[in-house]
């Protein structure tokens, strides 16, 4: 099964919930104020959020008026175009230096460890040498879980004991990356730091070490967000983005939720690109996010 088919299958719950409601609206309504009110309510109930729902409906009203749209099929196409525009241009990982560094942040339970294993596997299959730094030294068993995923993916791992200084792990990982000619260093970070200040300080310390060891290296700060949490994922991204300079989002568990529309407010409100999505539990079930594929899968009639 190709990734588009996996994405389509993964979005089936979202599509059934969101598009089912929209199709029902289009089949029985005139394109009037009541229609727009119901559409806005449908979007909000689908976890797209009040602000983004309002933005979509405002844009749709303008487009319907401007293009003199009366046919419901054209309304649906206009809606598709508006959502595609909100998602913006695709944004790929910056892996332009050797080594390139990826910090993976996010709350516990968002799928960070699993995602690191999947991403390592994907990069190794692209011919890259990957080294993983087990810098989540706070959570019990985090290092052990990461080690299992590194064995599965074929990535090297640098680890210290539980409770050790995360920055020291990164320091050693950067040294090891140079010694082993690693192409990419992926850093797992603690999923729970009690204040924004703690988070900011920890990430600043890690970033300083990264740049001191590999000056000018490409550095991605990716937040893993669990798609099943809906609007909570947007709130998490907003909180983390205030404390860290996030360069992209990994949206996990897209196949396990009817809240896959959460991609839309993330892109629209936070202006942080979704760079990767996971659809499925297998190690190969991670891919770059392609906006056109997402919208096509969501609106697909079959």
pLDDT digit string, tens, across residues 210-246: 989 999 999 999 999 998 888 888 888 888 887 778 9
- pLDDT, tens digit, for every residue of 84-138? 999 988 899 999 999 999 999 988 888 899 999 999 999 999 999 999 999 998 8
Tell me what pLDDT residue 302 has. 55
What CATH number does the domain located at 3-87 have?
1.20.120.140
Question: What's the pLDDT at 64?
Answer: 93
User: Is the per-residue pLDDT at 150 higher than 90?
Assistant: yes
Mean pLDDT confidence for 33-45: 89
Average pLDDT taken over every residue of the chain: 88
| pLDDT the model gives residue 153 | 96
- Looking at domain 100-299, its CATH superfamily turns out to be P-loop containing nucleotide triphosphate hydrolases (3.40.50.300)
Structure tokens at 249: 């989002």
Can you give the pLDDT at residue 4?
62
Angstrom distance (rounded) from CA 165 to CA 160: 8
pLDDT at 287 over 60: yes
Of 165 and 13, more confident = 165
Report the percentage of the chain scoring pLDDT > 90: 48
- Asked if residues 291 and 90 have their Cβ atoms less than 8 Å apart, the reply is yes
Q: What is the mean pLDDT of residues 196-221?
A: 88
Mean pLDDT calculated for residue range 28-44: 86
Relative to beta strand 286-288, strand 274-278 is: antiparallel
What pTM, to 2 d.p., does this model score?
Answer: 0.89
Instruction: Report pLDDT for 96.
Output: 96
Mean pLDDT, range 263-287, rounded to an integer: 89
pLDDT (average), residues 139-155: 92
d(CA 302, CA 287): 23
In the chain, domain spans: 3-87, 100-299
Half-sphere exposure of 206 (CA within 13 A, CB side): 32
Helices (H), the chain: 3-10, 12-14, 20-28, 33-45, 50-67, 72-87, 112-125, 142-153, 166-180, 196-213, 231-243, 263-270, 291-299
Share of the chain above pLDDT 70, in %: 95
pLDDT at 168: 95
Question: Over the stretch 167-191, which tens digit does the pLDDT of each residue have?
Answer: 999 999 999 999 999 999 999 998 7
Is residue 1 scored above 60 in pLDDT? no
């Amino acid at each position: 099964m190709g990734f588009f088919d996996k994405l389509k299958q993964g979005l089936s719950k979202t599509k059934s919930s969101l598009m089912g409601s929209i199709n029902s609206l289009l089949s029985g309504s005139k394109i009037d104020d009541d229609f727009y009110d119901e559409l806005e309510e449908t979007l909000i109930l689908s976890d797209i959020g009040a602000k983004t729902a309002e933005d979509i409906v405002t844009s749709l009203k303008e487009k319907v008026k401007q293009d003199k749209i009366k046919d419901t099929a054209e309304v649906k196409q206009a809606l598709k175009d508006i959502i595609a525009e909100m998602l913006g241009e695709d944004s790929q990982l910056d892996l332009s230096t050797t080594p390139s560094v990826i910090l993976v942040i996010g709350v516990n339970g968002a799928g960070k460890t699993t995602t690191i294993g999947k991403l390592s596997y994907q990069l190794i299959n692209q011919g890259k040498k990957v080294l993983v730094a087990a810098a989540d030294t706070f959570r019990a068993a985090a290092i052990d879980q990461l080690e299992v995923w590194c064995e599965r993916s074929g990535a090297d791992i640098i680890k210290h004991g539980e409770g050790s200084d995360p920055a020291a792990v990164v320091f050693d990982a950067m040294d090891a990356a140079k010694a082993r000619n690693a192409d990419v260093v992926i850093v797992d970070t603690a999923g729970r730091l009690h204040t924004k200040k703690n988070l900011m300080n920890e990430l600043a310390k890690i970033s300083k070490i990264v740049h001191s060891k590999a000056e000018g290296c490409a550095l991605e700060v990716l937040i893993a967000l669990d798609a099943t949490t809906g609007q909570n994922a947007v709130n998490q991204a907003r909180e983390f983005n205030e404390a860290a300079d996030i360069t992209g989002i990994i949206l996990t568990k897209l196949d396990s939720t009817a809240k896959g529309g959460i991609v839309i407010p993330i892109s629209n409100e936070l202006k942080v690109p979704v760079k990767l999505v996971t659809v499925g539990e297998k190690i190969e079930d991670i891919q770059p996010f392609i906006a056109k594929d997402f919208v096509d899968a969501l609106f697909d009639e079959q």
